[in-house]
Structure 1
Amino acid sequence: MSPDAPAPDARALLTLADVRKSYNLGLPSEAEVLHGVSLEVQRGEFIALIGPSGSGKSTLLNIIGLLEVMTAGSCRLLGQEVQGMDDAALTLLRRSALGFVFQFHHLLPAFSALENVTLPALMREGRVSAKQREHARALLASLGLAAAMGKRPAELSGGMQQRVAIARALVMSPALVLADEPTGNLDTASSDEVFVQLRRMHAELGTTFVVVTHDPRLAARCDRLVELVDGRIARDEAITHAAT
């Protein structure tokens, strides 16, 4: 970190400092795709992560999501330094602190909507408690899917499937939800519908969101915009919304 850079906020939900990521280490084809990224995410923020294809957005999101290991730098999540953690510790932190929404919903086709939403509880604890099942029902109902809980993914529209995925990401009450192009596979109307639900869940639950999007309309409806270009943060600014 530069000596002129401000000290990291110990209260921050997530702090990245000089994060670098290289692939093919030690080989002639070695390439660094993140070049010293520093970023702080506070609790309750709703952040758009944008940038051209190949800018490193997905790599950065995978590092934040504890799915990839950075080559150098520091990543602190909920006050815990993740660099040096073993796979078991990373898995435990990921399951307890993070929720994920992807471009493709990745719902299990043989499971009902409710069963898909309760899957994180089953994976984490080996069972689904009555309280967790009721929480999953409440999430689905709040997302307009009360009548679809027993339906399988093939019986749902694309927008409905993605709302099931949102409920699944939120069911374990994560501190941070990472959404990678969550509307990228939907038409405009469905994209707007899903984004409205993301914002509503953020407002109601106070969950922190980092959303990767290529859609400038959706990015403009976030509260903060972080732009990545060629593996570096080129812009980081708050978005001012007109009063309605």
Structure 2
Amino acid sequence: MSTAGPLIELRAVRKRYNVGLPSEVEVLHGIDWQVARGEFVALIGPSGSGKSTLLNIVGLLERLTSGSYHLLGEPVQDMDDQALTLMRRRALGFVFQFHHLLPAFTALENVTLPALMTEGRVSAAQRERARELLAAVGLAQAMGKRPGELSGGMQQRVAIARALVQNPPLVLADEPTGNLDTAASDAVFALLRQIHDERGTAFVIVTHDPRLARRCDRLVELVDGRIDRDEPIRGEGTAPSEPR
């Protein structure tokens, strides 16, 4: 992977569904977007604006219809499925609104799952890294517990540790606090900021919560499949205007 240039670079990206059919619809209309290494970005917009589609394209979960997408300097739109899977595993971490932990696995086993899926086994070093990450997210005493024994906020912390276990340069978080109460939401978001500050991990966070969006460093608003606003945030409570 190249270490020069932006982490994410999209040029004239369009996404259509049902191409060639009477029901064809275009969801993204020529997106130009860059994210630098180590940025902490909020992606906002009304329902149906294309946020999830854009995040899925950035996360290599969906293919763009036209345009170009470079991730870590590599043109991923030209990769076959196997190459995309390998790129996804080594470049990206994911945190979703629903934690998607396996209920029969302990917290430690859930965090080591990416290594198990990638290599078919979990090494002693990988298990130790999982322990370190769980300790870093405040779950040193809960490694042997299963998801049903943890609160919602604790479950999401396990999911965050799992997203970081492969040490990705970019974490994509889709409404990571959407199912949490205010106190747990604040704690999880503070953890994401801490990880960003300590590790230099880049984050792109989809959120409907303007209070959390203002705590990011950059605000990108998507409206009707186009970037309507892209601006730095000058600190909590001092955004140029309330996220619409």
Give TM-score scaled by structure 2 length.
0.94
The answer as to 2:31 corresponding to 1:68 is: no
Structure 2 Cα separation of the partners of residues 76 and 227 of structure 1: 21
Does the CA-based 8 Å contact 2:214-2:236 persist in structure 1?
no
SS of match in other structure, 1:69? coil
Structure 2 Cα separation of the partners of residues 192 and 53 of structure 1: 23
Structure 1 Cα separation of the partners of residues 87 and 137 of structure 2: 27
Residue ranges of structure 1 left out of the alignment (5+ in a row)? 1-9
Q: 2:170 aligns with which of 166, 169, 176?
A: 176
The answer as to 2:27 corresponding to 1:11 is: no
The answer as to 2:90 corresponding to 1:96 is: yes
Moved more, 164-173 or 77-86: 77-86
Does the CA-based 8 Å contact 2:6-2:72 persist in structure 1?
yes
Structure 2 Cα separation of the partners of residues 55 and 71 of structure 1: 17
Query: What is the deviation of 1:242?
Result: 6.5
Structure 2 Cα separation of the partners of residues 161 and 11 of structure 1: 35
SS of match in other structure, 2:47? coil
The answer as to 2:115 corresponding to 1:159 is: no
- Percent sequence identity is 76
Structure 2 Cα separation of the partners of residues 86 and 242 of structure 1: 42
Query: What is the deviation of 1:143?
Result: 0.7
* CA deviation vs aligned residue, 1:136-177 (integer Å, no higher than 9, x gap): 111110111000000000000000000000000000000100
Query: What is the deviation of 1:84?
Result: 2.1
Q: 1:232 to 1:242 in 2, by over 3 A?
A: closer
Query: What is the deviation of 1:218?
Result: 0.3
SS of match in other structure, 1:28? coil
Structure 1 Cα separation of the partners of residues 208 and 128 of structure 2: 35
Residue ranges of structure 2 left out of the alignment (5+ in a row)? 238-244
Structure 1 Cα separation of the partners of residues 169 and 138 of structure 2: 23
2:136 maps to a residue whose letter is S
CA-atom RMSD, angstroms?
Answer: 1.3
2:165 maps to a residue whose letter is V
**Where do 4+ consecutive residues of structure 1 move more than 4 Å?**
none
SS of match in other structure, 2:77? coil
Q: 1:142 aligns with which of 131, 136, 148?
A: 136
Give TM-score scaled by structure 1 length.
0.94
Does the CA-based 8 Å contact 2:8-2:70 persist in structure 1?
yes
Does the CA-based 8 Å contact 2:221-2:229 persist in structure 1?
yes
Query: What is the deviation of 1:130?
Result: 1.0
| Partner residue in 1 for 2:52 | 58
Structure 1 Cα separation of the partners of residues 149 and 161 of structure 2: 17
Query: What is the deviation of 1:31?
Result: 0.3
Number of residue pairs the alignment of both structures matches: 235
The answer as to 2:53 corresponding to 1:81 is: no
2:133 maps to a residue whose letter is L
